Every structure is written in structure tokens, then in C-alpha cells.
Amino acid sequence: MTRVVDRLQPGRTVFSVEFFPPRGDAEEQILWKAVRELEPLNPAYVSVTYGAGGSSRDRTIRTVGRIARETTMLPMAHLTGVDHSKDELRHVVGSLADEGIRNILAIRGDPPGDPMGEWIPHPHGILYADELVRLVRSCGDFSVGVAAFPHMHPRSTDVEIETDHLVNKIRAGADFAVAQLFLQPEYFLRLRDRLAARNCHVPLIPGVMPITTPKVLSKFEHLAGVPVPSEVSAVLDPLAEDPEAFRAAGIELITRLCERLISEGVPGLHFYSLNRAKATREVVDNLGLAEGVPQPV
């Protein structure tokens, strides 16, 4: 089995890409256009998200299975515990295994319809993500990743307790963690330092999203759970009516963010692609990541 962590090599930074499963024929064509355009760049792995409450479960399984069969890329499936019993979760894991998928990102998930709503566990399901990590591990030979939150989970109120939750997920058997979005690298680096202080040294991979339009920028607040930093707004807001200038400035901003992260020795960069290839390709090209880049000595 090729594991995601096997693609994270000392002395270089690699990149990976996140897709979401298509909801119809038109979205299917868009997704596979992006897949084919990104495949030649040799991403370390690609991941496919899982809808709230399992709403895209079958599409996730089909998509990662097709990637495994028809491309040279290493696929990883997201899995959430929302509205699933443990038996249902084991069935999903088995279905993924049948498709040849052995890399899973285990996420508790958010309440359907309201990420800030009260978490109500399935009566026969899981309560915390560390339980999901253990469940996946109990199903066979899987490599498991978990989510990390540089800005804390939206329902968290204490950064140290939030870090403890991440450590619990890792010690339950996670091989690596993928960080949610941020635009200020200090938040990610402080999280990495907190993990190191707890003697927890699995790879921590930052998540980044190329900013190409005001609509994409607005997704940052939704996904990260924090406002857009004022220094970013100061650069991009005046360009909102100039699509070409806004896009160029957004790509430049994310390129500079990634350069800072590479200089700090991150093992990889995980790109939220929104099922489009062009912006991700531009940033990857700017960084020279198609073949990996040496970390600073």
C-alpha cells in the first residue's frame, strides 16, 4: 500500500489537491478536466470530500475509485461521522477498500445545514474524531489523516484544549494532519509549535486556496471561520471591480504565503482547488513544486 505519508519526503516540499464529488454530468466534466490538467504535475496525492451527513457518500466512493483506476495519482477519501452509525461507517470503509482506497481523512464533521449548530451524535455513532480514527484503523490496513485548525475549530474557545483534541486524534492512530485554511502563516506555525511542545511530530500539512475572485475570497471566511485579515482586504478590496487585477493580486498573495511556508520547512501544501485546475497550476508553477523544491538549509 502506498500511504500519503510515504509521499512526504524529507528535504522537499510536495503538493496535493482537494476535489469535491460532482453532483451531475456537467460538474463531472469540469472535475475530470481539472484532474487531467493537474495529473501531469504529479501531485503527491489528491483527496475527495464527503458531504454532510453522507450526502455525497456514493459520489465520493465512485470518484476516488475512478481516480485510482484511471489516473496515476494517489487518491484519499474524506470520511465523516455525521448521521452515521458505526456499522454504517465500517460499511463505507469497506466500500472504499473495494475500490482500492487505503488512505482516508477521518473528520467528525459539522451538523448538517449549520456548521455552528449543536453536534448531535448518531445514537450508535461516534462523538469525537479520535473514535473515527480508531474505527478506520480497526477495519484493516489504512493510512489515516485528520483535520487541524490553525484558527481553532469554530466551536472551540481555548487554543490549548483545541490542540489537545488534535493530539488525541493523532495518538488514536493518525499518520498526518491537514490544516484548514489561513492567510496569516503565524497561526499555522504556532499550531505546529504547540504540537511539537506536546512531543507530537506527525506531518502537519497546511491547506491553501488560490484567491481568484471576491466570491472565492468570501469562501475563506466560511471555511476558516475567521474574517479575512485586514492586510489582505487592504490589497484586494480596491480591486474588486477589476477581475484581472484582483486575480493577479490574489495569486501573488497566495504564492507569497506558500513561499513563507516552504521556507519554514512544511512537508507539503494542500490546495483547495474548487474543482478547477488553472489557479492551482499557476501557484504550483510559481513555486516550482511540480518536481518538489529543496527545503532551506
Report, as residue numbers or ranges, the catalytic residues: 18
d(CA 273, CA 20): 9
Among candidates 276, 278, 280, which has minimal Cα distance to 32?
A: 276
